[in-house]
Chains A and B, each alone.
Chain A
């Protein structure tokens, strides 16, 4: 994507990115580079030596069916979380944008989930989704054994998707709302005057004008659900039952942060990054073509 009209002062353009480039070099690339270098060694956590092992960390991972299972789990999680979080948020934002009675309250409260503190999120959803304690208890009372995320892997996955999505709806909602605000009311009123109904207006006017935001949110949601989801797994399922919720990033967190296997975690991080980069490049290549910037 390129603007037709540009400023010609190259030096100024470069100067404007220098602050952020300095920050990411110092606080991300320099340290991350060291951490990723460990992927080719066996690093001792307390320091005091590491041995170059070439790509053996990678071959060990990729030769392990359990790891492929974790990749699959991550893909399922990321896609379902992204679709759900964006779908619900978009619906809510479109409804709030109609400015019906009480829309200011909705506008505020629907953002709140993003503000919940992580430990509270785990506790609340454990209560809501637990088969013996929460609302699911009533369901299980009617159909005994129907809901049991403690041993049923698919249900455990549903549970973490719900908790994660609940929080990200607030995030997506606020950006959708901001984008909808930018669409002048006159445009919608004119269309209504021409006799097009609500769904028609959404499809013909609002959605096309929202595509830059939708694209932004798809990319960010997918990336975050791959890389920012270990907290919820740690709180709710610890990867179980029997690895059903062992997302790639949770395994990285567990092996590296808890288990002190720095080299294994680094190798897994590189694989995860490559996967997410590939997905992102794909989106910029193919999805962005359908974005209407003007």
Chain B
């Protein structure tokens, strides 16, 4: 507790006191705030501990802020009071907010300033394409990363005489019908909350090469407009709705009591679309004698598959810290980029390596041969499915959490038969565009990097 009326010298003394704090015990101490919770939070703490044990000069203090949104909000509060952490984890859709702030120290610049040579092309193209600026520069470090996959139950598919997952939605529809006829109550489990915008709208649009918005999905400027009411997405929702009406696709949500991941793990549903991050969970919760695997998301017939999107979060370094703290931050970020860390991280979580060297190292160590992790290489294949990036290599749209909410509202109206599919999607786009215009007005005069 310091209650003081300070003169000019006092202020200097205080400053000295503050910086003395950062050197507790001869080490430079930095804060890292992140949004993970549950066992992922425990794993992040382990990474921090490994870093602290690996060297003597720096100490990183890692604090969970409970949720991704909480991490961003609390960091903003701290930043505006001059108390920000050195490193903060920002979820994928928060990337734009950071880019438009003056609060960050660009990753590429930090590493160059601190004398680290980073080959930015080493990051997997799908990941790089998502986080980089329109000029291809990386401002943050991809951290926990995933992509969406199709999970399918091999036992059930065997019953309908198939040994492979469907590659197209046409094929999937036939499989669902066959599964239903074979007595399975839930051929495809899915949900229509804001979270599923990720796999059902964003990932779908990416692999099927459909745009979400004009201006290169927003990378080209804040005046982008949503257009997904005129793409293949309309057909997709129409199909989902008809599968739902026929009982081929079943809603699995927390409101209904069984979410889709447990529904798949328990064998209640034979296919789901979810993150590779759930791979470990399903392995640990499914009955040991259940045979299942993963595949790339289906596309519509006749469409050339493009790379899927990365999801998760990246690490940002914030402005307003001392040279020593930046040294520590660079050392930490360099540490987690090492292939050994990628192996550790993917072993204890379901997340994927973010660099080619990390991936090669894991292949070399036989990670993907281990039956526990088999199939996870498909996530890498999905992220690198095409050389040319899709029209949807990412989403750089303002207020995107609110837009996802509008998508969910539209779906819920459609599936409760309150509006037609086209009306529902038009509504999503119209309200979503309202959010985009509001965001644009808030950042009037600001240039998107």
**A interface residues (Cβ-Cβ under 8 A, vs B):** 42-48, 51, 53, 60, 66, 126-127, 130-134, 136-137, 148-153, 156, 159, 236-243, 254-255, 257-261, 263-264
Contact = CB atoms under 8 A, between A and B. Distances in A.
B349 interface: no
B287 interface: no
A259 B402 contact: yes
Contact of A126 (B100, B194, B254, B408): B254
B447 interface: no
A241 B410 CA distance: 10
B79 A46 contact: yes
A108 to B, nearest CB: 31
Contact of A42 (B79, B193, B415, B442): B442
Contacts, number: 108
Query: Which 7 A-B pairs rank lowest in CB-CB distance, beginning with the nearest?
Result: A130-B257, A133-B257, A46-B101, A132-B257, A150-B255, A242-B412, A241-B412
B346 to A, nearest CB: 28
B442 A43 contact: yes
A260 B73 contact: yes
B409 to A, nearest CB: 5
A242 B255 contact: no
B16 to A, nearest CB: 27
Interface of B: 69, 72-73, 76, 79-80, 97-98, 100-103, 193-194, 251, 253-258, 399, 401-402, 405, 408-409, 412-413, 415-416, 418, 431, 438, 441-444
A132 B413 CA distance: 22
A131 B408 CA distance: 20
A46 B443 CA distance: 11
A258 B97 CA distance: 12
Given A42-B441, A43-B442, 11 more contacts: A46-B102, A53-B441, A132-B258, A150-B255, A151-B412, A238-B194, A254-B402, A257-B73, A258-B401, A261-B399, A263-B442
Nearest to A151: B416
Contacts of B431: 66
B407 to A, nearest CB: 11
Contacts of B194: 238
Contact of B408 (A53, A130, A240): A240
A126 B412 contact: no
Contacts of B98: 46
A36 B416 CA distance: 37
Nearest to A156: B255
Given A48-B101, A259-B401, A151 B251 contact: yes
Given A44-B443, A238-B193, A126 B257 contact: yes
Nearest to A239: B405
Contacts of A44: 100-101, 442-443
Nearest to B67: A258
B69 A257 contact: yes
Contacts of B443: 44
19 contacts: A46-B97, A46-B101, A46-B102, A47-B103, A130-B258, A131-B257, A148-B256, A150-B256, A151-B251, A151-B415, A153-B416, A237-B255, A238-B408, A240-B193, A240-B408, A254-B402, A260-B72, A261-B399, A261-B438
A54 to B, nearest CB: 13
Contacts of A237: 255
Given A48-B102, A130-B256, A242-B412, A259 B399 contact: yes
Q: Taking each of B102, B442, B444, which has the highest tally of chain A beta carbons within 10 Å of its own beta carbon? A: B442
Contacts of B101: 44-48
A243 B428 CA distance: 13
Contacts of A152: 416
A48 B438 CA distance: 17
A289 B259 CA distance: 51
B223 to A, nearest CB: 16
Contact of A45 (B97, B256, B408, B444): B97
Contacts of B441: 42, 51, 53
A255 B251 contact: no
Contacts of A151: 251, 412, 415-416
Nearest to B103: A46
B32 to A, nearest CB: 18
Contacts of A255: 402
B412 A134 contact: no
Contacts of B80: 46-47
Contacts of B253: 150
Given A46-B97, A243-B409, A260-B72, A134 B401 contact: no
A133 B268 CA distance: 13
B97 A127 contact: no
A150 B102 contact: no
B212 to A, nearest CB: 18
B409 A240 contact: yes
A264 B256 CA distance: 32
Given A131-B257, A150-B253, A241 B399 contact: no
Contact of B255 (A53, A60, A149, A259): A149
A109 to B, nearest CB: 27
A242 B69 contact: no
Contacts of B415: 151
Contacts of A236: 255
Q: Taking each of B73, B98, B258, B405, which has the highest tally of chain A beta carbons within 10 Å of its own beta carbon? A: B405
A260 to B, nearest CB: 6
Contacts of A53: 441
B418 A242 contact: yes
A264 to B, nearest CB: 7
A137 B257 CA distance: 9
Nearest to B403: A259
Contacts of A127: 257
B406 to A, nearest CB: 10
A116 B438 CA distance: 39
B409 A242 contact: yes
A258 B403 CA distance: 12
